[in-house]
Structure 1
Amino acid sequence: MDLTGAIKHIKVKAKQVNNLPSGLRILVDFNEQDSAYGDAQGLLAGFLGILACNCNLFPIDFERWTGKVGIPEDYFNDCFATIIKVRFSFKTTKALAKRYCKISMGKKWSAHKQRLWSEFNIPTKTIDEIIRNVPNGIDKDQWVRFVQYRMKPSTQERCRKNKENRSKQVIPHTGGSKANSRRRHEIFLETGKLPSRAQMYILTHTKKGWILCQ
């Protein structure tokens, strides 16, 4: 959508969003459950993931995404105002759009840190060796503080408990990475009916959930 409100159909990937012409924004639809859906949702999710993994915007050496030991609120507010809002137009209120983006980015930021640790935490190496092996694109000082935090006994114990709790999950999620709001919209386009919450649960936790939603 351009500055005049005219809607244009273009092909763009998440990595190309920053290269959009000035004044052109991607229109994101929201459903009655205040969730984004459609192709723009996938594009938004990909772009938010790129931002969340940028350690210059959101350092990895904070313990959490929110809270007293989390990333300061101003970091996200500035990112939303100067980067996200100028490239996306949300068909919902500003407050709901910010909330949706913040939650999505928090999940991606946490997953990014977990991937880094899983890849570079080699049991046969000492903490000094891990610290020296700085991942590409990560600030060296942030990496040092991140590794030191992850190696703390209290952090390792919490990770052990989380892993144990995940192993007790008896009903696996089979929906993949696609957002439920987008999947729900696709079902509506296919069947003409919006699936209930119960049907969505079955769909994302069984291999034959589609049959129950038709």
Structure 2
Amino acid sequence: MSTNNAQNSLPGNLNLDANANEVPLLDEEVDDLLDASGAQSHRGRKTTELWTVKIIDSDGTIKPSKLSVREALEWPNGRKIVLKFNNAKQPIGDEAGLLSGVLGLLGSDYEKFYIFEESWRKIITKNKVYNECVKQIFHFDENSEGTIKKNILKSMGKSWKETRLRLYDDFYEPTFTIEQNIEHRSLGIDREH
């Protein structure tokens, strides 16, 4: 069974035609999927609501399942969520929404991606998180051009950047000294970071 089949029967006004002149950005398409599914979301990602997805066991058996983003992150070894893609190598269906939520949580994880780095390009743990987390949770065939991996890393990078900006807005006080700002940091962030 190929996991790269396009589904043109999705709700909403998504254009998944391979001959379309414009291909919507991954984040826009996922947001449209969330809107179409009626899912409640926070910044385009939901963590407690259930997504209807297909899972594949280690023996190749595919079964439907309902998972939240948090459950997907704690998913047991040997079972993976099957990702489907359109012809532009963008994830589609509820699995795309679940992927977006997982990538959002991974990208905002202070332990996986240090917030003290100046830019996403300088993060050296990207490939490790991709291989040890994303590839362990989701089942998909990587394309030879690397488009799928590139889009996944881009989505995690966006979440990382948004998290850094939110932390700066919430915890940085311009009238404080550097030491005072370090003491004023969010819980869960190491002093060195």
TM range (shorter): 0.5 to 0.7
Q: Which amino acid aligns with 2:107?
A: A
TM-aligned CA deviation for residue 123 of structure 1: 4.0
Query: What amino acid maps onto 2:163 in structure 1?
Result: H
Identity rate, percent: 33
Aligned: 1:71 with 2:126: no
1:92 Cα offset (Å): 4.7
Matches within 5 A, 1:140-159: 140-142=191-193
Partner of 1:100: 151
Residues 30 and 91 of structure 1 are in contact (CA less than 8 Å); yes or no, is this contact kept in structure 2? Answer: no
Q: How do residues 1-214 of structure 1 correspond to structure 2 at under 5 angstroms? A: 1-66=56-121, 70-72=122-124, 75-93=125-143, 95-142=146-193
Deviation of 1:126 (Å): 3.7
Report the structure, 1 or 2, having the larger helix content: 1
Question: 1:122 Cα shift?
Answer: 2.9
Larger Rg computed on CA atoms: 1
2:36 corresponds in structure 1 to: none
**TM (normalized to structure 1)?**
0.59
Contact 1:30 1:92 in 2 (8 A): no
Higher strand share: 2
* Conserved? CA contact 2:73–2:102, under 8 Å: no
Q: Hey, what's the Cα distance between the residues in 2 that align with 1:123 and 1:99?
A: 36
State the 1:138 CA deviation: 1.2
Contact 2:142 2:149 in 1 (8 A): no
- Secondary structure at the residue paired with 2:136? coil
1:47 partner amino acid: V
Superposition deviation, residue 91 in structure 1: 4.9
Structure 1 counterpart SS, 2:155: helix
Residue pair 1:27, 1:91 contacting (<8 A) in 2 also? no
Give the distance between the partners of 1:77 and 1:126, measured in 2 at CA. Answer: 35
